[in-house]
Amino acid sequence: MAGNNNISERLAQIRLRMALACQAAKRAPESVTLVTVSKTQSAAAVMEALAAGQRDFGENYVQEALTKQVQVGRESAIWHFIGPIQSNKTRDLAENFDWVHGLDRLKIAQRLSQQRPESLPPLNVCVQVNISGEASKSGMAPAEVAELCRQLVDLPRLRLRGLMAIPAPVAGAADSRTPFRRMRELHGALQALGLPLDTLSMGMSDDFEAAIAEGATLVRIGSAIFGARGP
């Protein structure tokens, strides 16, 4: 797998770029969490990142993630599920993850809450917003997010943390901030309604600096750390 031998170096580079982006935005460096996206990467690659001090990992495929968790040790890391959620996989998510980022239906949220074991703290969740209005993409329309958030607050085994988005790629550097700015404004509007949101999950390898400039508190970065994924 490409680039595995310098995972710690790449992590250091990403952390530095994150710190510089925070400085440019006059934000504290601790205000942004790095989630290392380890989908399609081996358990050995995850362990190398753990050895370099990385704690948060993002996975997209349930079965792959569960296998890796057994190899790496479920308790060694904080596990974020960032892929699309299938209703027949909610129990696996409720029992094995610390965060779920792609919530966009009440039904799924209810199942996750029902299935979250009492022995674990409430499951941290983010509502996915279809901020670029793409017909083919998952996520809720911005106008519908407030209602789902209100319903989530009442689910006892979930802890609503914030919003997540995967904006469509845009052409120029200036434009790349636009969807992130709209996310920041939506997040602020929901907070003003009294919703307890503290997380804006946005920004990937190609656009995390723009996301940090617009207030991302959690960036999800894969290929810039592990190298390009296979086809």
- Residues near ligand PLP (CB under 6 A): 37, 39, 60, 82, 166, 204-206, 220-224
Q: Which is nearer to ligand PLP, 149 or 165 (CB)?
A: 165
Q: Which residue is nearest to ligand PLP (CB)?
A: 222
Task: Please state the closest distance from residue 109 (CB atom) to ligand PLP, in A.
Answer: 18
Task: Please state the closest distance from residue 94 (CB atom) to ligand PLP, in A.
Answer: 19
Task: Please state the closest distance from residue 168 (CB atom) to ligand PLP, in A.
Answer: 13
Q: Which is nearer to ligand PLP, 177 or 220 (CB)?
A: 220
Q: Which is nearer to ligand PLP, 43 or 119 (CB)?
A: 43
Task: Please state the closest distance from residue 14 (CB atom) to ligand PLP, in A.
Answer: 10
Q: Which is nearer to ligand PLP, 198 or 206 (CB)?
A: 206
Q: Which is nearer to ligand PLP, 85 or 94 (CB)?
A: 85
Task: Please state the closest distance from residue 157 (CB atom) to ligand PLP, in A.
Answer: 23
Distance of alpha carbon 93 from alpha carbon 117, whole angstroms: 11
